[in-house]
Copies of this chain bind each other. A is one copy, B any other.
Amino acid sequence: MMLSQTEENYLKAIYSLAYANSNNVSTTLISEAIKTKASSVTDMIQKLAEKDLVHYKKYQGVSLTEIGQKIAVEIVRKHRLWEVFLLNKLDYNWDEVHELAEQLEHIKSETLIDKLEAFLEFPTHDPHGDPIPDKEGNIKHHNDTMLSSVETGKSCIVIGIKDSSDPFLKFLDKLQIQLGNTLKVISKEPFDNSMLVETTIGSISISNQISKNIFVKNL
């Protein structure tokens, strides 16, 4: 099946929205993610339904079919492998790779992405800690433990970033928080749910907005 970049972007958006929201994905939600009008989304999901890539009943939202899901995961795989390439080989920063990967993920080839994967020595996660699906589409999601839920006095390791937006990543750079870092929760402030955290550069105060967007593994 030969899909346009636009169709691929819709499938990818539906995939991540479905993952974040669990139930059927609404037209409006997609339109916000893709930055189009709801009417355009309706047109497209009807086209995708026609191609058996989404389940769709009028006014009920959509969910991916098995084949739709498979394609979406393939695009996620490409996206994340390209991100690794840009960071590891071309010296980009982790806040710069996403935009470029949005283009590179649409390169069509039977062999390219597997060769790229081998060249990168089979990375398991992208620069933001997101898992990279394997060739067969298997993907190991990390358990959603956020820094915000770590108990006082306990330590943890940063394994991922939920919000991979440019400003958030730049902010983490400023705090010198990176994947693999060990963080220790010194105290929590009940008033605004901020926490005092021991990092590699000393103890800093982190707002709840930040701490609930950092995936960690408890030690």
Contact = CB atoms under 8 A, between A and B. Distances in A.
A44 interface: no
Contact of A90 (B100, B107, B116): B116
A154 interface: no
A77 to B, nearest CB: 16
Nearest to A109: B100
A107 B104 contact: yes
Contacts of A109: 100, 103
Q: How large is the interface on A (under 10, 10 to 19, 20 to 34, 35 or more residues)?
A: 10 to 19
A92 interface: yes
A43 interface: no
- In the A-B complex, the 9 residue pairs with the smallest Cβ-Cβ separation, listed nearest first, are A90-B115, A103-B107, A90-B119, A89-B119, A100-B109, A100-B112, A104-B107, A90-B116, A91-B115
A108 interface: yes
Nearest to A114: B90
A128 to B, nearest CB: 19
Contact of A112 (B90, B111, B119): B90
